[in-house]
Amino acid sequence: MPFLAYNRPMTSFIRHRSNYSFWLLNAAAYLTWLGILVSALPELEGEPNRTLVLVLFGLFFVGLSVYAFLEERPFLVHLYLLYQLIIAVTISMLVPEKTASGISTFLFILSAQAMLFLPMLPGLALIVVFILVTLGASFFAFDGLHANDFVAILGGYLFFGTFGAGLRQANEARQHSQELLAELQTAHEQLKAYTSQAQQLAVAEERNRLAREMHDALGHRLTVAVVQLEGAQRLIPTNPERSASMIEAMRAQLKQALAELRQTVSALRSPENGSVLPGSLATAVSHLVQTFQEATGLPVHMTLPDELPLLPEAHRLALYRAAQESLTNVQRHANAQQAWLTLEANDEQVTLTVADDGQGFHDEVADGRFGLVGLHERTKQLDGVFALGQAEQGGAQLRLQLPIPHVEAADA
């Protein structure tokens, strides 16, 4: 019977073994048509309407062949059912009474087709029409219909209608399953792509983190060492003792840089095993300022709070690196006579401010320095605010504000 079609092109039926039932049901419809035709042929011998009846059988066959292409076209389905109904009723009126009773089988086929391709209510309405047509044709041809025959015919319509509705539900369930499978495959491909992107981003983030740590750990110490070496080179002819003292200070700076590098590498390999900063944040900043003043001779006015709140290691390291980078930039670019470092904190945030009385920031320095880019990245990761501007003393000012998270932290 040609009343099982899926929402796929007809060529796709050949590619899917699960759609063999479509061809079997179509073959059953054609065999039903052929059986009725063969049983009617002997009764048509000598009948004047034999040729017309055979033409009508052929037209019914054509309808069976094109019905599968009417899916998702309810208007054409209604026209098709009307077309087949007229042919079936006409045949039943032209053939002998013995053959006419078998023509109702055609209407059984139409009832299944109506329930398959039409919504429930229109399909049931058409089945009611088929039943009324059958009753009318019986009264016209046989002067009435026996009660047993009526029950049998009614049961046939209900059976074929239920069968068609079941096929429709199975078809919709299959289509839904195929859509879910396609969505699942798409989601799987997207997940693979997202996983690949996440891995690439993780690698890039780790490389940036390593670059920041290497720059921040070595940049400051090496800058101070270069300043010492330049001063010692100038003093060798006139003041060799002072030159030797500066070289010794440079050696101490390089040793400390090497120690910081080892400590940073150790923390990067196993961050849970220890802190990059030795001691508290205030102690580390104080030591940083002291060694900077001794090496460069540039006075730094430092203001620290009496007590700092508990801060996570990432916050402590970001503030320390900001102070380190700021002092390095003051030495290398500011041409300043003195600097100011202030660390403030309350229950909500901690703020580091470093200012100088030098020449301020040039655009190429503010936009292109890798150390400043690294500070900006650190601040963004910690949901803080990083700003560069003009200091009250006339030079440059760096301000870093970090919110204090409400988690347990260590600032020993």
pLDDT tens track for 362-372: 654 444 466 77
- Statement: residue 37 has pLDDT above 70: yes
More confident residue, 199 or 14: 199
pLDDT at 123: 84
- Per-residue exposure over 353-367, b if at least 16 CB sit within 10 Å of its own CB, e if not: bbbbbbebbeeebee
Rounded to an integer, the average pLDDT of 54-80 is: 82
- Statement: residue 41 has pLDDT above 50: yes
Give the integer Cα–Cα distance in Å for 114 and 117.
6
In the numeric block, the tokens 């017309």 are attached to: 52
More confident residue, 54 or 208: 54
pLDDT at 42: 82
pLDDT at 408: 47
Rounded to an integer, the average pLDDT of 178-193 is: 88
- Statement: residue 20 has pLDDT above 50: no
Average pLDDT, the chain: 76
pLDDT tens, position by position, 87-120: 888 887 787 766 666 667 788 888 887 887 788 8
pLDDT tens, position by position, 286-330: 988 988 888 778 899 999 998 888 888 889 888 988 898 888 888
pLDDT at 401: 93
- Statement: residue 23 has pLDDT above 70: no
pLDDT at 352: 94
Most confident region among 132-141, 249-258, 394-403 by mean pLDDT? 394-403
Question: Structural domain boundaries of the chain?
Answer: 11-145, 279-412
pLDDT at 159: 83
Three-state DSSP class for residue 33:
helix
Give the integer Cα–Cα distance in Å for 327 and 341.
9
pLDDT at 339: 93
349-356 sheet: strands from edge to edge: 300-303, 339-345, 349-356, 396-403, 385-390
Give the integer Cα–Cα distance in Å for 405 and 408.
9
Cβ atoms of 32 and 109 closer than 8 Å: yes
The pTM of the whole model exceeds 0.75: no
pLDDT at 209: 65
pLDDT at 300: 93
Tokens of 148: 């047993």
Distance of CA 7 to the CA centre of its chain: 28
Alpha helices of 118-146 — where are they, by DSSP H? 120-142
Cβ atoms of 100 and 92 closer than 8 Å: yes
- CATH code linked to domain 279-412: 3.30.565.10
pLDDT at 398: 92
Rounded to an integer, the average pLDDT of 172-192 is: 87
Rounded to an integer, the average pLDDT of 66-76 is: 75
Confidence of residue 26 (pLDDT cuts 50, 70, 90): low
Three-state DSSP class for residue 233:
helix
Cβ atoms of 38 and 118 closer than 8 Å: no
- Statement: residue 24 has pLDDT above 80: no
pLDDT tens, position by position, 120-166: 888 888 888 888 887 776 666 555 556 666 677 788 888 888 877 88
pLDDT at 195: 78
CB contact set of 103 (below 8 Å; sequence gap of 6+): 36, 88, 91, 92, 95
More confident residue, 71 or 254: 254
Rounded to an integer, the average pLDDT of 377-399 is: 88
Rounded to an integer, the average pLDDT of 20-39 is: 72
